[in-house]
Every structure is written in C-alpha cells, then in structure tokens.
C-alpha cells in the first residue's frame, strides 16, 4: 500500500494514462489482426495493459493511481477490441475477390503458362485478391459507425447489468484484481502472480509448436475423452487444452451461477447432435451407409463414397463430405475410416443443426430479456437523468453518466456514417440495383438489430465471458439479404452492416467489462464512457490498415492467414442466401437453417419469458459454443463449488479468485509473446 501523498488532485484521466493506453492498444491491434487472421480469435487488451500500466505509471513515472491505470486499460481495450470485428468480416471481400479470380479465363491462362494449377497460381499472387479502395473506405465508415453506436447503445444498460443484475464479467473482475493487486495484500498478489506465471508457461508450452516448427512436442488444441473411451466422435467429450486455463479461470470466477451452462451443452452436444447422426437427419442418408460399412468393410465404403462423392460434386454441396470421401477412398486419413466419417458427420450436425438452434435460442432469449427488463431499463434511464440533476452540484465530480444529449447526437451521427458507408459500398460495386431508400431501410434494420445484438453479447459476456460475435454477424447478413435480396450490391450492403454490428457488439461488451472493472475500483462511469467514445474509432482503422498491408503480401484464406472466421461467414452467406441459380440441395439447407433459427427462438423466448434470469440466452450460448469450451468452463465452476465447500468462501475470495484471474491474464500474455515470435519469424522471411 502506498504511503500518504500531498493533496494533489487524485489522478484519473491523465495524458500519461491515455497515451500509454493508445500505444498498448495500437500495438496489440496490429499484433492481433495478424493473429486473428491466422488463428481465428483475439485476446482482450485490458488485463495485459493493466499489468503494463503498473510498470509504467507507477514503476517508471512514480505517480500512477488505481483509477488512472483503469483509464489506461479502458483505452487499450477500446482500441484493441475492434480488431475482432474487422478480421471476422472484412476478409470476406478478399475471399470473394480471390474466388472471382479463380474463375477468370485470363488467370486460367496465366496458371497454365506458369505450369501451376489455378489454385496454386491464385495462392501465390496476392494482387489477384486486391479490392477497390472504395470498398475499404466503406468498411472504414462501417467500423467507425459500429464503434460509435456500440458504445452509445450499451451505456444505458450499465445500471441494469452491473449494479442491479450484478452480472459477473469474469475478465472485468480479473482486470480489477490486477488493478487492486498492489494494495490487496501480499497473499492475493502472490496468488495472482502464481496464476500468471503458471498460465504463461502452460500456454507458451502448448502454443509454441504452432509457431516454431520442429519442436519435440506437438501442438495440442483439445483433449478428447471420447477418443480415449472409444466413443464415436459425434459424442463430444472434449476438454480445451489451448485456452484451457482461460476457460477454467472464467468458470472459477463465475462460480455456481455458471453450472447451468452445462445443461445446454448436454442437450446440444450429447442429445441433438447424436440424434441427427444416428437418426439420419441429414441431406443424404447414404452417408450413414458409409459410416456403417467403414468399420467392417472399408472397400465397400470406398465404393459408396466414390459414387456418392461424384453426386455431391455435381450438386455442388456437402463439400466437406466429398473431401473426407476422397480421403477415405485414398486411405489418406489419420484415424480409422469409421471415426473419420463420424467426425465429419458430427461436425456437420453441430454446424448445421445444433449451432443454428443455439443461435436462434440466443436471439429469442434476448428478445424476452429485453421485454422483461424494459420497465427496469426505463427506470434506470430515468435514474440516470435524476442522478445527473442531483449530482455534480457540489465538489466538482460532475454527473455519473454521459450527457443524454451527447448520446442522442452520437447515435444520429453513427447512423449517418453507416448510411454513407453503405452508399459507398454500393457505389464501389458499380451497380444502381439498390437505391437510397433500400440503403436507409437496411441501415435502420441493422441499427435496430445492433442495439439488440449489443444486449445479447453483453449478457453472454457478463454471464460467461464468451461472446458470439460471428453468430451476430451471420444474423445481420441474413436480415439484410432477406430485406434487399441476394444481388452483388445486396451482399455488399450486408457486409457493411455485418462489419458495423460485429464492431459494435465487440465495443459494447468491452465497454461493459470496463465499466464492471471501473465499478470495482470506484471509477467514475462518465469518465470511462467518454474515454472509450473518444478512442473507439482508432482500433478499426488500425486493424483495417494492417489488414490492407497484410493482403499485399499474403493471400487470405491460405497458409499462414487462413482467416477461419471470415471463411465461415463467407460459407454462411452462400448457405443462408444462395444465389438464384443454386442447387436444390443448397436451397433446402438454407431453408432448414432458417427454420432452426425459428425453432430455437421460440424455445428461447418461451423459456426466458417463463423463467426469467436470461436462462434462454445462457442455454442457447452453450449449444452454440464448442463442447471443449463449455466443459472446461464447467470444470472451473465445479472447482469453485468444491473449494468453497472444502475451504470456505474466504479462501475462494482470498486465494482462488486471484489465482483464476492470473490464469486469465497469463493466457493473454502468452498469446502476445507467441504472436511477437511469429511476427519476427515472418519478418525474417519465414511463412
């Protein structure tokens, strides 16, 4: 604990704190734009920047305060969080452009001259995926609009989610633990450090083989218990290894309240997915025949696959089944043939059945949550106005929340920027198939959905630390393409709106995490909200510029920048909004997916309206998430219950929570180190 200082003003928003946050945020945004394109996920900057904050503000400058460091982490996280929204969506444009190049006669001729396949030729010529800079301007506008609206839409929910419902926000709690560590007593600080050190070592050990080739141990993503028990792969009992301590730490901090998450996982992964496979609720039952035969008569299975593969190819569908069929037919598979087929069938059922049901449930549950909490939300907004009138009259603290007039102006500005971005996008496509009226309609739909999606993501983050950003982007695309139809310009507008929603939901949930941290250290909400609003636009632009530069060197969708999330969104566009000339099978799959959203929404709506407490949202999320994440998180919750029972509540608060917070922090730090190693390797000419 610090000794007493002369009575200078208490440091909160300072140049040093903001500048440090900007530097850390920009560096992490650049790093995680690259890492996210490679791995498909990013890491929040808040905990890392809070740790650096102590080193710089108090260690070097000798004058940092807890709430000043809180502003530093708010700024860094506000900048870095947008990288996820950008890398999940914008690369889709590059992927479509590369696909166009593959179909071009000139490219085919060049590939032939070079003695390469078209695929190889496109993969080695990044210029073929280059897109008109107008598209990037449209995306820049969308992401800035999203950043602005995301922060503003979530501010009125602060009292509801943090002060009344008291959602956990595990990352927010972990960040607060770091901010308070120096003054929390030696035991808590020691446990935090133990957590950080053990987590850094573990995550580096697990992640290093993915960066440095030739190490004597393999990269391990998950530990499959199903495989050890010789259960079929579609009955997933999997524990996350990479990111495992983060999930356990998040679960531990959430505690008993997180146990219910497992119910949704059991229904989704142990009942629905197996039922789809075993009952043959698939586009083509011939696959079951393949699985049945693969165990005993591999040659017969290969014969079926061979014939069936041709059928699939002709129908331009079930591409992944074809791929495995080819693997089986050639014998080039790592597992037994039956397991290979089971793995693919399980993945198909999870992606096309369980996950859409979960997304629908999230949607229905959130709509019900909004209906149920509307009166209290309105009361909270009124209390913001009342508090504004009452506070600030003395002692110069000012109002607690941002000025409502500023918020309304900001929302209007964000909407105008969004409309402008969509208009730019349509202009870049070069058609006049979509007029201003349609652009206004799409912007209005996206803005309304953005508000709801922001609440959905903030609730799921608050309850579990997981945010279904890509699911929200998919629904945006579905909504816009349903409204505008599937034309080139329609897809462009849908992409603009998806970028805006993805960035907005990221910003909104980050704002709530930061406000939770702020609540725990006694920061003034208005100062945090203002700071986040001022810097929120920086991150998307840094991420876009980084992406633009990377796309000059690498072809996205290929090693090393496979852009997995963007590939999934591109596949979803093709699935949810098939072109008019799409095959019957594709159109049937699209229709089935939409109906599953509807079924999930009906269940989520009924459950949440009837039971309350956001139950539909939590169960929907656990059907949406992979089993490895939910099961590992559940283990963390169980450990809390057991340790509380064995050692008592004080032990959990004094030792368990700081240790779990350290695990969360350590994974983030290790990822920063691994990305740094990878960037250095790429800069030195490695790929």
Partner 1 sequence: MEAAKKSAGEHAASWVQYLGMTVAMLGGATWPAPKWSIVAVGILILCAGILWARRARASTTAQSAEGAREKPLDYARQRVTEALERTRALRATAESAELTAIAAGAEAIVRECVEAVAKAQEAIAAAHGFNAYAEIMTPFAAGERWLNRAWSAASDGHRGEATHSLDRAIEHIERATRAG
How many CB atoms neighbour CB 167 within 10 A? 23
Specify the residue, 125 or 655, whose C-beta has the smaller distance to partner 1.
Answer: 655
Beta-bridge mates of residue 558: 561
Specify the residue, 394 or 687, whose C-beta has the smaller distance to partner 1.
Answer: 394
Residue count (the chain): 687
What is the distance between the alpha carbons of residues 280 and 34, in angstroms, rounded to a whole number?
40
Specify the residue, 411 or 598, whose C-beta has the smaller distance to partner 1.
Answer: 598
What is the distance between the alpha carbons of residues 455 and 617, in angstroms, rounded to a whole number?
11
Q: Is the distance from CB of 315 to CB of 284 less than 8 angstroms?
A: no
Residue 92 CB, nearest approach to partner 1 (Å): 28
Specify the residue, 104 or 374, whose C-beta has the smaller distance to partner 1.
Answer: 374
Specify the residue, 183 or 448, whose C-beta has the smaller distance to partner 1.
Answer: 183
Which one, of 16, 24, 18, lies nearest residue 57 by Cα?
16
Q: Is the distance from CB of 152 to CB of 415 less than 8 angstroms?
A: no
- Match 């107008």 to its residue by tokens: 134
What is the distance between the alpha carbons of residues 275 and 252, in angstroms, rounded to a whole number?
32
Residue 318 CB, nearest approach to partner 1 (Å): 13
Specify the residue, 216 or 522, whose C-beta has the smaller distance to partner 1.
Answer: 522
Residue 606 CB, nearest approach to partner 1 (Å): 6
Residue 165 CB, nearest approach to partner 1 (Å): 8
Specify the residue, 101 or 619, whose C-beta has the smaller distance to partner 1.
Answer: 619
What is the distance between the alpha carbons of residues 536 and 47, in angstroms, rounded to a whole number?
18
Instruction: Judge residue 50's burial from the number of C-beta atoms within 10 Å of its C-beta, 0-12 exposed, 13-18 middle, 19 or more buried.
Output: buried
Beta-bridge mates of residue 224: 238
Residue 641 CB, nearest approach to partner 1 (Å): 14
SS (HEC) of 277-335? HHHCCCCCCHHHHHHHHHHHCHHHHHHHHHHHHHHHHHHCCCHHHHHHHHHHHHCCCCC
Residue 522 CB, nearest approach to partner 1 (Å): 3
Q: Is the distance from CB of 312 to CB of 319 less than 8 angstroms?
A: yes
Within the chain, what is the greatest distance between any pair of CA atoms? 85
Specify the residue, 468 or 539, whose C-beta has the smaller distance to partner 1.
Answer: 468
Contacts with partner 1 by CB under 8 A lie at 1-5, 7, 10, 65-67, 159, 162-166, 180, 182-183, 263, 267-268, 271-272, 275-276, 279-283, 353-354, 357, 375-376, 379-380, 383, 387, 395, 397, 400, 519-523, 588, 591-592, 595-596, 599-600, 602-603, 606-607, 610-611, 619, 623
Specify the residue, 265 or 426, whose C-beta has the smaller distance to partner 1.
Answer: 265
What does DSSP say about strands 222-224 and 238-240: parallel, antiparallel, or unpaired?
Answer: antiparallel
Which one, of 82, 23, 43, lies nearest residue 207 by Cα?
43
Instruction: Judge residue 420's burial from the number of C-beta atoms within 10 Å of its C-beta, 0-12 exposed, 13-18 middle, 19 or more buried.
Output: middle
List Cβ neighbours of 158 (8 Å cut-off, separation of 6 or more): 380, 401, 512, 515, 525
Specify the residue, 483 or 588, whose C-beta has the smaller distance to partner 1.
Answer: 588
Specify the residue, 416 or 602, whose C-beta has the smaller distance to partner 1.
Answer: 602
Phi-psi sector, 435: left (phi>0), alpha (psi -120 to 50), beta: beta
Beta-bridge mates of residue 240: 222
Residue 517 CB, nearest approach to partner 1 (Å): 11
Residue 621 CB, nearest approach to partner 1 (Å): 14
Residue 130 CB, nearest approach to partner 1 (Å): 40
**What tokens appear for 575 in the block?**
């699935």
Residue 663 CB, nearest approach to partner 1 (Å): 24
Specify the residue, 51 or 147, whose C-beta has the smaller distance to partner 1.
Answer: 51
Specify the residue, 118 or 588, whose C-beta has the smaller distance to partner 1.
Answer: 588
What is the distance between the alpha carbons of residues 42 and 433, in angstroms, rounded to a whole number?
37
Residue 400 CB, nearest approach to partner 1 (Å): 7
Residue 11 CB, nearest approach to partner 1 (Å): 8
Angle of helix 46-53 relative to helix 66-80, nearest 10 degrees? Answer: 140
Residue 533 CB, nearest approach to partner 1 (Å): 20
Alpha helices in 391-487 (DSSP H): 404-429, 436-464, 469-484
Which one, of 110, 9, 125, lies nearest residue 67 by Cα?
9
């Amino acid at each position: 604990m610090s000794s007493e200082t002369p009575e200078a003003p208490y440091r909160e928003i300072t140049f040093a704190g903001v500048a440090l946050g900007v530097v850390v945020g920009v560096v992490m945004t650049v790093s995680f734009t690259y890492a996210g394109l490679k791995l498909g996920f990013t890491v929040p900057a808040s905990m890392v920047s809070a740790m650096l904050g102590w080193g710089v503000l108090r260690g070097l400058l000798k004058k940092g305060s807890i709430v000043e460091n809180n502003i530093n982490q708010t700024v860094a996280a506000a900048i870095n969080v947008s990288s996820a929204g950008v890398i999940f969506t914008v690369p889709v444009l590059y992927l479509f452009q590369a696909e166009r190049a593959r179909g071009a006669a000139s490219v085919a001729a060049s590939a032939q001259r070079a003695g390469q396949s078209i695929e190889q030729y496109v993969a080695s010529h990044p210029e073929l995926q280059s897109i008109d800079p107008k598209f990037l301007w449209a995306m820049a506008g969308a992401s800035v609009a999203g950043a602005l609206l995301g922060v503003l839409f979530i501010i009125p929910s602060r009292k509801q989610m943090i002060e009344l419902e008291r959602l956990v926000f595990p990352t927010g709690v972990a960040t607060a633990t770091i901010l308070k560590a120096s003054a929390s007593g030696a035991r808590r600080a020691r446990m935090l450090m133990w957590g950080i050190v053990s987590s850094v070592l573990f995550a580096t050990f697990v992640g290093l083989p993915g960066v440095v080739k030739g190490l004597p141990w393999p990269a391990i993503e998950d530990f499959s218990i199903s495989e050890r028990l010789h259960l079929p792969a579609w009955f997933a009992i999997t524990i996350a290894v990479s990111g495992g301590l983060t999930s356990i730490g998040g679960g531990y901090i959430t505690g008993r309240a997180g146990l219910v998450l497992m119910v949704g996982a059991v229904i989704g992964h142990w009942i629905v997915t197996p039922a789809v496979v075993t009952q043959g609720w698939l586009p083509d039952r011939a696959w079951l025949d393949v699985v049945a035969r693969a165990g005993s008569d591999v040659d017969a299975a290969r014969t079926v696959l061979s014939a069936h593969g041709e059928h699939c190819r002709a129908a331009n569908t079930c591409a992944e089944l074809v791929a495995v069929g080819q693997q089986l037919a050639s014998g080039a598979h790592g597992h037994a043939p039956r397991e290979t087929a089971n793995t693919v069938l399980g993945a198909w059922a999870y992606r096309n059945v369980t996950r859409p049901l979960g997304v629908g449930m999230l949607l229905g549950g959130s709509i019900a949550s909004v209906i149920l909490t509307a009166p209290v939300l309105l009361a909270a907004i009124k209390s913001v106005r009342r508090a504004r009138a009452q506070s600030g009259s003395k002692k110069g603290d000012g109002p607690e929340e941002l000025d409502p007039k500023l918020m309304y102006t900001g929302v209007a500005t964000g909407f105008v920027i969004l409309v402008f971005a969509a208009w730019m996008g349509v202009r870049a496509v070069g058609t006049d198939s979509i007029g201003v009226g349609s652009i206004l309609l799409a912007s209005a739909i996206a803005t309304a959905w953005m508000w709801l999606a922001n609440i959905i993501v903030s609730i799921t983050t608050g309850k579990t630390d997981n945010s279904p950003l890509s699911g929200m982007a998919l629904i945006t695309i579905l909504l816009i393409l349903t409204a505008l139809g599937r034309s080139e310009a329609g897809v462009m507008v849908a992409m603009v709106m998806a970028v805006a929603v993805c960035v907005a939901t990221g910003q909104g949930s980050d704002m709530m995490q930061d406000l939770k941290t702020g609540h725990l250290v006694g920061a003034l909400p208005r100062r945090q909200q203002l700071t986040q609003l001022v810097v929120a636009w920086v991150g998307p632009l840094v991420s876009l510029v980084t992406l633009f530069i990377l796309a000059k060197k690498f072809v996205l969708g290929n090693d090393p920048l496979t852009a997995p999330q963007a590939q999934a969104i591109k596949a979803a566009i093709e699935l949810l909004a098939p072109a008019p000339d799409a095959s019957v099978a594709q159109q049937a799959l699209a229709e089935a997916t939409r109906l599953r959203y509807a079924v999930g929404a009906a269940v989520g709506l009924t459950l949440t309206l009837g039971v309350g407490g956001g139950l539909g949202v939590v169960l929907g999320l656990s059907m949406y998430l992979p089993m490895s994440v939910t099961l590992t998180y559940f283990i963390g919750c169980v450990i809390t219950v057991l340790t509380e029972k064995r050692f008592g509540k004080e032990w959990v608060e004094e030792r368990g929570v700081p240790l779990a917070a350290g695990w969360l922090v350590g994974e983030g730090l290790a990822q920063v180190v691994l990305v740094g190693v990878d960037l250095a390797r790429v800069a030195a000419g490695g790929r």
